[in-house]
Amino acid sequence: RLRALNRLQVILQHLKMSKQTDSAAEVLLEKKGGAGIITLNRPKALNALNLSMIKKIYPQIKTWEQDPETFLIIIKGTGGKAFCAGGDIRAITEAGKVGDKLIQDFFIGEYRLNNAIGTCKKPYVALIDGITMGGGVGVSVHGHFRVATEKTVFAMPETAIGLFPDVGGGYFLPRLSGKIGYYLALTGCRLKGRDVLRVGIATHFVESEKLPALEKDLIALKSPSKEKIADLLNSYHMKCTIDQEKEFALDEHKEKINSLFSAGSMEEIVKKLKQDGSPFAMKQLETLNKMSPTSLKLTLRQLREGASMSLQEVLRMEYRLSQACMKGHDFYEGVRAVLIDKDQSPKWKPAALEEVSDEFVDNCFKPLGNDDLKL
């Protein structure tokens, strides 16, 4: 009898352990009903993506895509604060300083994942509840459906850390209405709640506390088509009245954004903002003055070229830019100032837009031969 009890204790201990390791996994991949569910599970790091998570998610999406019993894929984050706040910038910074291969592997893995989502044959539903920035935008925006909530905070803040809005930013940003994508990319402006829908980043808007019910209903759908999934999302969307009366935050500035950010060069954009002189224009000028001049120039060209490229061409271009940034100065300095020392006063090199030559920018866009990104 004692032995049986001991055995039971051992089994219970095992169960407890397997449960712990499970919830300690950085990404949870499970199948419920006809749905494959990806749960980003690094709540303390705001579900930031690292390479090991990317390496688990990518093959799973590919497997589900081929599986006749999987009808849709859902991606979400844990912890209630963030869907995914971006890529694991610190790890990349450390790797870059010592010339570690991670600076290639991370971007290759991440961009391949972005492409897998963008080309996924199964309906892909991202529940972007909470902070959704950088890499978090990359694992959501290229899918069929993006459900925002009143807690969603969207931004592409890369120019502040000497990078550029990657993960396919060169594809989706210039395709937003007017010049709003250029504005978001260059200034890192944050959009909240319903505004994420209004600008076209999200496809639906649902109350945060209704997401578990929505997920349950999605899982319960019997061999659903994309239309059926859309119908279900629409029904939730139509019932949500939160912030319906609130005006779109950029509404009053739309015309200004479209005219000021349509200039062909960064110098010209700055000149237009100075000439405009309105409080809005001066505020944008102040923001741009804090950004890496190199990043601003790379970003403007990235978006202008990306506007007429396929997602695959954009990701190839962005991989070239990522490697140029890894070799430069500003990325490491930006991360130091914003994330490590948090003194918020980066010393950019070059320090002024005029000092970033066209030749330098051209070089960053040059093909890498055998080292180019293969999708």
Active-site positions? 87, 135, 158, 166
Pairwise CA distance, residues 358 & 230, whole Å: 45
Q: For 8-96, where are the E strands, in sequence order?
A: 27-32, 35-40, 72-77, 82-84
Burial of 305: CB neighbours in 10 Å, binned 0-12, 13-18, 19+ = middle
Name the amino acid, one letter, at 245: E
Which candidate, 313, 322, 150, places its Cα nearest to that of 242?
150
Pairwise CA distance, residues 34 & 30, whole Å: 11
What is the longest distance spanned by two Cα atoms in the chain? Answer: 88
Handedness of CA 167, 148, 154, 343 (dihedral sign): negative
Spatial contact of 215 and 74, defined as CB atoms under 8 Å apart: yes
Spatial contact of 202 and 148, defined as CB atoms under 8 Å apart: yes
Helix, strand and coil percent figures for the chain, each rounded to 5? 55, 10, 35
Pairwise CA distance, residues 140 & 55, whole Å: 17
What residues contact 70, with CB distance under 8 A and at least 6 apart? 31, 34, 35, 36, 64, 122
Cα torsion 268, 272, 275, 278 to 10°: value is -150
Spatial contact of 143 and 125, defined as CB atoms under 8 Å apart: yes
